Amino acid sequence: KAYAMTGWRIGYAGGPEWLISAMTNIQSQSTSNPTSISQVAAEAALNGDQNCIEPMIKAFRARHEYVVTRLKQIQGLNCLPATGAFYAFADARSAITTLYKKNILRSPDDISFSEYLLNNAGVAVVPGSAFGTEGYMRLSFATSLENLRNALDRIARALD
């Protein structure tokens, strides 16, 4: 995560032997090995010049603050600041209820809401129910500030 290598699906863990052993047992039955290119990229990130980290942290912090602020300004949405990663997890229950009552959504859930945003705003979000939190949406801010401005403008128009 520190190197913003989204989608590479590689990581490592350190800890007590009993914990790492238990994690290995679970992981070995649920996932396969990372691709060779992912391994080489991760090695290059860990062993390479580390000066890229601080500017990335600043950029992600600015994007996070922008996204959370904008989401709270959009009618029907609310968002608390995140404590890590590069996702905003917004409460969309009010927007879902409003759109459903106006017969805009086919059902009053975050899946229908996410489909609505994709089809009417051109913005892909992940329904919160995929993470066990019905009525929420996850929005990545691992893109440019310009892309985020455009996406949030389109979401605001779709919910206006």
Radius of gyration of the chain, Cα coordinates, nearest whole angstrom: 19
Residue with tokens 């991760």: 42
Assessment of whether the complete model's pTM goes beyond 0.85: no
pLDDT at 32: 66
Q: pLDDT grade, residue 85 (50/70/90)?
A: confident
Q: What are the pLDDT digits (tens) for 16-71?
A: 999 999 988 887 766 667 888 988 998 998 998 998 888 988 998 999 999 999 99
pLDDT at 138: 95
Which one has a higher pLDDT value, 3 or 113? 113
Q: pLDDT grade, residue 110 (50/70/90)?
A: very high
Which one has a higher pLDDT value, 7 or 147? 147
